[in-house]
């Protein structure tokens, strides 16, 4: 007897799988991490992977929707929500740990410090991109320009992970971050340079 998963369950199952993957990576990299520290890392890693998948799939939205149907749209939205919630939780736990809400504020003292704490502006950029998606009817075609902030947020988060992230000090995780960042950059450039259907005709 085969186990069939209802289509409605796939979006939420995707979010759960991301959390499980993040927990597995955190435990593998540092099995002795304190509970609060582990929760901070799981939130960061879950959000990081979710933002990558959200950004990458949005570049191929039309093709994926045609192939997989409406459930893919719901999965895409679930990934976006999962990423934003996980990163917000990550920031809140860091604020709890440090006892200050200043962890939400970008630092402009130097380029290196800005990138080291790049997760801070990344969170705000993701929030703006999410609001643009929600209000896309009111914004018209301009909402896509704001939605592109997802990509900038991911690259800022990558810089933050490489410069400060505890898990990403592991060579394998550093390589993964570089591969994901380059993959998204190449996909983004390729889609931007690709002629639109009307231009091809």
Q: Which residue has the tokens 């039309």?
A: 62
CA pair distance 5, 65, nearest whole angstrom: 19
Contact 83, 51 (CB under 8 A): yes
CA pair distance 128, 25, nearest whole angstrom: 29
Report the pLDDT value the prediction gives residue 1, as an integer from 0 to 100.
43
Q: What is the pLDDT of residues 39-79, one digit of tens each?
A: 999 999 999 999 999 999 888 877 777 776 666 777 888 88
pLDDT at residue 6 greater than cutoff 80: no
DSSP per-residue string spanning the chain? ------GGGHHHHHHHHHHHHHHHHHHHH-TT--HHHHHHHHHHHHHHHHHHHHHHHHTTHHHHHHHH-HHHHHHHHHHHHHHHHHHHHHHHHHHHHHT-GGGGS---S-HHHHHHTTHHHHHHHHHHHHHHHHTHHHHGGGHHHHHTHHHHHHHHHHHHHHHH-SGGGSHHHHHHHHHHHHHHHHHHHHHHHSPPHHHH-
Supply the CATH classification number for the domain 8-190.
1.20.120.1770
Q: What is the pLDDT of residues 128-183, one digit of tens each?
A: 888 888 887 777 777 777 778 899 999 999 999 999 998 999 999 999 999 999 99
pLDDT at residue 15 greater than cutoff 60: yes
Q: Give the confidence band of 2 by pLDDT, cuts at 50, 70, 90.
A: very low
Question: What value does the mean pLDDT take over residues 29-44?
Answer: 92
Q: What is the pLDDT of residues 71-120, one digit of tens each?
A: 677 788 888 889 999 999 999 999 999 999 999 999 999 999 999 999 99
């Amino acid at each position: 007897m085969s186990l069939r998963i209802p289509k409605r369950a796939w979006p939420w199952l995707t979010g759960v799988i991301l959390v499980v993957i993040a927990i597995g990576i955190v435990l593998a990299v540092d099995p002795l991490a304190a509970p609060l520290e582990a929760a901070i890392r799981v939130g960061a890693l879950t959000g990081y992977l979710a933002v990558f998948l959200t950004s990458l799939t949005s570049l191929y939205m039309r093709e994926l929707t045609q192939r997989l149907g409406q459930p893919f749209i719901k999965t895409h939205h679930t990934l976006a929500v999962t990423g934003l919630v996980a990163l917000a939780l990550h920031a809140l736990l860091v604020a709890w740990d440090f006892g200050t809400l200043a962890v939400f504020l970008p630092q402009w003292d130097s380029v290196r410090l800005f990138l080291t704490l790049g997760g801070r502006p990344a969170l705000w950029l993701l929030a703006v991109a999410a609001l643009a998606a929600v209000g896309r009817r009111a914004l018209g075609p301009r909402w896509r320009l704001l939605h592109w902030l997802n990509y900038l947020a991911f690259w800022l988060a990558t810089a933050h992970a490489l410069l400060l992230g505890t898990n990403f000090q592991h060579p394998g995780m550093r390589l993964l971050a570089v591969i994901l960042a380059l993959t998204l950059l190449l996909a983004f450039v390729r889609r931007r340079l690709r002629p639109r259907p009307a231009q091809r005709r």
